[in-house]
Structure 1
Amino acid sequence: MDATMENKMGLPPPYEPAAPNPAPPPSYFGDNPPPPPGFVAPPVAPRTTVITSATTRPGSTKLGPGPTGTTCATCNKSIVTRVEYVPNNRTHIVSAALCVLAGCCCGCIVPYCMRSCKTANHYCPQCKAFVGSHQPS
């Protein structure tokens, strides 16, 4: 069968013969070739990393929903925290749910009057620095 006959039968044209040895891929080492066989690298001393931290840091003391005794990280004094209660997302969701369930707006005020529905932010009474917060569970 010749090439014209193959074309009429709908067969693809014959493939070109491939080069016997293709070119090697580019080097992965760039300008730095691998070390010669038998090369032994000199030993490297291990590195020692020392990490230091302050003994008192914000959030290291478990803060409660009310005033809590702790050490202020800013002024390093032993204090009893001053607490401010602020509404959070849970307060707004409970308020909206009470409004829908009660059918009136009278019940939606209740979560804003309860400390247990708000976040307690703790502050140092000496330097007024933020110490941490307590999220209600």
Structure 2
Amino acid sequence: MDATMENKMGLPPPYEQAHPNPAPPPSYFGSNPPPPPGMVIPPATAPRTTVITSPPSSGLAPGKLGPGPTGTTCVTCNKSIVTRVDYVPNNRTHIISAALCVLAGCCCGCFVPYCMRSCKTANHYCPNCQAFVGTYIPS
């Protein structure tokens, strides 16, 4: 069979011989060619890493705040303080108020939880820099 007959039968064309070791294209190394054989290049020094640590803070962590003014160290101004507390109503306050209104049958009892500190969230602030320190949520 000849080449035209093979193509008509759907067979692929015959393979051509490839060169055993083709030369690499010049873009392998970019603009920095490899050093000549026998030349020793000193290894590059690694950049230095500096770790800065802060001393452990004294006082209570923000998670250990109580329902009233608490002594701690302000993380913003780094002073030893007694926190200023603002009491704000939360979902628990609203639920207790609604339950008292339903159980009492009138709206007179629904104001009681808004007057009690134990039903509210205590937000702690620094008296020096007015920064927020943390929250105490009653359980």
TM over 0.5: yes
TM range (shorter): 0.5 to 0.7
1:112 counterpart residue number: 114
The aligned amino acid for 1:60 is A
Is the alpha carbon distance of 1:51 and 1:103 closer, same or farther for their aligned partners in structure 2, counting shifts above 3 Å?
farther
TM-score if structure 1 supplies the norm length?
0.59
- CA distance 1:54–1:107, shift in 2 (3 Å): farther
TM-score (norm 2): 0.58
Determine whether 1:55 maps to 2:66.
no
Q: Unmatched 5+ residue regions in structure 1?
A: 1-49
CA RMSD of aligned residues (A): 2.1
Aligned to 2:33: none
5+ residue gaps, structure 2: 1-50
85, 88, 101: which one pairs with 1:99?
Answer: 101
Partner of 2:138: 136
More helix by share: 2
Q: Which amino acid aligns with 2:61?
A: S
1:66 counterpart SS class: coil
SS of equivalent residue, structure 2 residue 133: strand
Aligned residues: percent identity? 83
> What is residue 76 of structure 1 aligned with on the other side?
78
How many corresponding residue pairs?
87
- Give the C-alpha shift of residue 87 in structure 1: 0.1
